Every structure is written in C-alpha cells, then in structure tokens.
Chain A
Amino acid sequence: MKVKSPLEVYKFLPQTNCGECGYDTCMSFAAQIIDRNVKPTDCPPLVENAKKDKKFEKKLKELIALTSPEIAEVIIGVGDNAVKIGGEDVLHRHELTYFNPTAFFFDVWDTMDEAQIDERCSRVVEYRKFYVGDFITLEGIAVRCTSNDPEKFRKAVKKVAEYGKPMILVALNPECMRAALEEVADQRPLIYAATKDNWREFLELALEFKVPVTLRSKDLNTLKSMAKTFKESGVSDIVLDPVTEPVGEGLKATFERVVQLRRTAILGEDKDVAYPIMITPIAAWLIDGDEVTKGYWETVIAATFIVKYADVMIFRNLEQYTVMPSVILRYNIYTDPRTPVQVEPGLREINNPGPDDPVFITTNFALTYYTVESDLTSNNIKGWLLVLDTEGLGVEVSVAGGQFTAAKVKDLIKETGVEEKVNHRYLIIPGLAARLQGAIEDETGWTVLVGPMDSGRIKGWLEKQWPPKSKE
C-alpha cells in the first residue's frame, strides 16, 4: 500500500460522514482502509459518483491504486474452499501484519492408482489440528503429471477435483496441462509451471482457460522477463517460483532469491516481481535418506520460507510430525500482532454442569483459555470455568506479574455469581498458580485445590481428587 496515513486516504473520500459504509465518519473509514479491513469500493457514494462522472472514476481508480497491496493477490480454487495468496504489504510482521497465510498443497500423482489418490486426498481433506479455539485445516492438493500422458493426467485431475479442494496442476508438458484444464479449468486451479522452454504454450493456456499460472526460473532476470511478458499479454494472476534447491549452497541461493524477490517488490517498488512466491519443500525428497530424513528436511525448508515470504507451498509428507509444526508455525507467523489474543472474562459452563461439579479458574489469554476449555469439553468433564482477566497473559506470567491475584479471583467469584450455582466451595487453580493457593483461600474463604500443570491432565487428576475429601 502506497499510503500510510488515514489522512492521505481521507482526501479521496466524500467527507460527508454519511455512514453508508457502516462507519460513523469518513476518517474512521479511511483508517479501516489503512488497516486493510475495507476497500475503497466499500464506500457507496464513491462508487456511485464514479459511475456518473469520469472525474470521480479517475479519483477512485487512483485511490484503489494507492491502497492496493504491494504484492498482488491471487485466488486459487472457487467457492468456499478458494484460497487467497499474496496480498502482503510489509517485510516484517510488526510493521503491520501479514495477511494471507502460506497455502499448503499436498501432492498426488497420476500414476498412482485410484485408491491411493483417494487415500491421500481424504487425508488432506480430513486434516484437523485444534489451535486457539479453532481447527486448522489444509488448503489443497497438487496433482503431478508423472506419466507424461495427457489422458492419464486428465483422469487423475478429474478424480482429485471431486474433493472440491483448490488444486495446483503440475506438468511441464503443455499437452498434458491442456487435457487437465479442459477437465477442471472452471475450478480455477493454479497451473505449474511456465519455464523458459514452454512459456509460450503456457501463456496461451493461461489466457484461454483464465487460470492463474506459476512461472518458474532460477534466474531472476528470466523470471522477471516472463512475469512482464505474461502481464503485458493479459495475464495478471501470476505466481513466481524461483526454484527451491533443498540443500547446501543451493538452499543458500534459494534463500537469497526469495528474500530479494520480496524485498525488491516492496522496497524497490518493482511491480514486475510483486507477485506471490511459490516454494516447494517437496524438493527435499530428492536428497538421499529414508522417509524420516526427507520428511524432516521438508519441514526445515518449509519453516525457513514460512518465516520468509513464501505464499504457497507444495509438500509431500502428510505425517503429523512434519505437518503439525508447519501449520502451527504458519499460524504463529500470520497471527495479527495488532489484535490482542484475549477472550472475554467471566464464567463458562462446560458440558451443562450441575451444582456438584467442580469450579476451575484460568486466564483470558486466548491460547490458555481455548486449551483448557477444549481439554474439558472433549474429555466430557462437567464443570464451571472461571475466566480471569489477566490482560491476555498466560498463567505463569500473570502470577509473576501481578495480573493473577487473589483479590481479582475474589471479585470474579462475586461478579459471576458462581456461589449461587454450586453447592460447594472448592476452587481448582492451575498448577502453575500454586503459589496463590493460600492467598486465594484467605481472600475468598473457598478451599483451593491445586490442579495439574497441564490441563490435558485434568481428567486423570479429577479421577483422584474429585469429589474432594474434606480438607485436612
């Protein structure tokens, strides 16, 4: 985004504070544009005026140009499952935030039999990892043409399309790619890849089928030349693959290419390379070694480029020990640093608790809260969960830092009226808040039980400790 301050945006707005956009003032709408929560076209008068008057149309276009992301956005797939990549504005997440998390595609290939394809596709579709209140899922499937046979490839691609996930079609042979596109172009797959040898055919395919296209070259001059050529021929949905070399100085060179592409696009304002970047951790499967070796190294490559600018990736390994660190790292890096990760304090009823059920307390740091809540819920534990406002800090830190105090616990018990809901006076505190046991007892008059260090162990703990034997 070329503009940095709401004032610069404000100049372009009607300045009538009409409120049609849903915000009270044009200035707050301008601030929302800067934060990328809304687009200029979300201002109805602006759009209306542009339709009527050439002068306003020009102004709107200018504003769109000034406020569009530095890196182009590309959409792969259609409907609810479509995934948006690129659209980044900054090199470091603290400068604003990163926007569209790296999309993960897992491969199948056309010489697999149908059952194998089904097996892998199902694993991608069904993948779930619970994290901070939601399940992380995987984005799509990359179908590789290993047969070099257009009909085989067509068949495999058709099969994979049944899963409704975004697809990357991987084939350097334009004939194979054409066959596949005839089948699934309406699914808006990303095609992979145009190279210095086949770019003319791929350019034609991209134009004819209106699909996003990946350009692949180790040579950044060639890559830029291709991007410029494609763009000027009418293709704007472009993804750049600077070629992932998995080890040694090849990896070093890959790192340099990726950083330079992104940095030159944003700081050097080189629009010809301002496109999403593709990284292929799957290249790790070219090194020697067993499956663990390759899987580990695939994760090493993925981690490097999740942190540094990859927008879309193709993976081989579907084993959890490599997928899980990759999806969590991606989540962490793409978490908006502007949003405090807190939940509302108060009292939560877990699994319809009754008056005999235990009362727990935790913090309002979202990660802690959702971990505890889901551990209780999924273990079918009935209970009352007090959520203390620790200003979004975890247990250990808030105990040390004075945001988790006996006095605040007392207030929370009073405010939530939990005393009327249960017929006992036992409070289970986190193991890491053990040092507050005495203070909370003094302050509240409740008997405090020190729970386990990890809420994953509450179930086993309750079996031994609940209902409580009378104290001492």
Chain B
Amino acid sequence: MEEFFQQLTNGLAVGGIYALIALGYTMVYGVLKLINFAHGDLFTYGAYLGLTLLTSLALTDRLGFALGVLVLVLMVMGLVAVLGAILERAAYRPLRESPRLSAVVSALGASIFLQNALMLIYGARFQVYPDNILPTATLNVFGLYLPLMRVLIVLASVLMMAALYLFIQKTRIGAAIRAAAIDQGAARLMGIDVNRVILLVFLMGPALGGTAGLMVGLYYGQINFTMGWVYGMKAFTAAILGGIGNIPGAMVGGLLLGVIEALGAAYISIAWKDAIAFLVLILILIVRPTGLLGERVADKI
C-alpha cells in the first residue's frame, strides 16, 4: 500500500508536467486543428534556457531560492513564448489556408530544425542542472516519503492550470479564444481578430510548456536535446486522453497518464514504461476518440 501511494505521488508530479505541456497541444489543436509537433521541442528549449539562465545569472544565489526560481520561471516563460510566436509566424501562418498535410509536415520540419539547432548549440550530450541550488528537503507525511520538489511541481502546475482555466473562462480575451476554437469564420464576423487569438495561443502554450521543461530540469537534473519528443508524445496522449481541444481535459489527462505510467512501471515492468503511454493512446482512439471529457470534434474528414 505504501508503495502504491509512493508511486501515486510520483505519478502526479510527472503527470503535472505532462498536463502543462498538454495544454499547449490542446489549445493549438482547439483553434488551428493542428498537431504542433514542435511543441515538445519548445518544452526542451525551456529546460535548456532555464539551465543557461540559472548558471549564468546565479539567480538563486542572489535572490534566494524562492524568489530566484520565480524570476527564472518568468524569464523562461517569456523567452519560450517568444519562440512560440516566431514558430507560428514562420512555420504555421503561411500555411493557414493549406491542406492539413502541409501544416503537419511543416510542424515536423520545425521540430527537427529546433531539435538539431539545440544540439548544435549545446552538443549532443546530456546537460546537468547544478544540484546545490535545489531544495533537497523531504517531507514525511503519514510515513510517506515526499521530496519537496515533487510537492512544489504538483502545486505549481495545478496553480498554473487553474490560472489558465480562469483566464479562458472569465476574461474577454478568453472568450475570444473559445469563440475562435468553435468557429474561426464566425468569430471573425463577430469582430474577433483571429490572428491575434492564434498568436496569443502560441504565446501561452509555449510559456507553459517551457515551464514544464524547466521543472523537468530541476526535478530530474538531467536534460537532453531529444527529450522533447518523448515528453511531447506523452503530453499529446494526455491531451487526447482528456479530449483534445478541452482545457480541463488536458489537465485531467496529464495527471491521469502520469499516474497510469508510474503504476504501470511499478507493477508491470519499468522496461515497458514508455510503451504504456502509447498503448493508452491507441486504446483511447479506438474506444473513445473524443477522450474522457471531450464532446465535440465532429468527424468532418
């Protein structure tokens, strides 16, 4: 039983990371009906930018851990958001009216480009986050061993997701995003600047994805230029699991997938861990293609 809860908390932490990335997929898919294959790479950029800023600015030394990490998060968010906007401008906007396949291929091309640019800049080897700035404290809750980082990750991701949800549901801009997701043409007729909505989606999604990358760096300590694709595919699975285009769905899907994977690794086999997510994906698409919370996505071919 203790093992079970241990794995559960671990799964929730990883799931929080998946959920943050999944939000970017689901928002882009909601508005553009495009799988942004390069999103996973933006996540990796978050991890690498985080490392560079962390080591070159020594933020945590100057500002203390809490404030230092907060400033770091904001900087990474901003930089990766800018990258997302550039990506939209260069690889997706020229293809807005093209058939879907062109956009998919462009997205893949962008992903390959981003990934290899990172490799050329940083080298192909694993990069290591410095371990002396991380809080190594461990909480002991009812005999459960909880590293502080794990708790912080879950808290931070839930907070960010809640903020995003409120933003989408309660603000005028959020309403514009929802409207554009339902029908771009109609939204345009209602005076919504769809181009700006899409730009905004490409700022917010990458900002959250980049933060997730930073979290992975801080949590696991090791990052690699190819990690975006595995995390990206899992996050996309999470988005489908929850119902693509659906923001609460992405959160639930992410957390759920993290837990399924952690329990699967513990009770089935760690060697098959990565296959579990893909099996879940295929099963979901066969059995309930709209996902758990999804309702729309009419099959228009």
A and B held together in a complex:
no
Which chain B residues have a beta carbon within 8 Å of chain A's beta carbons? none
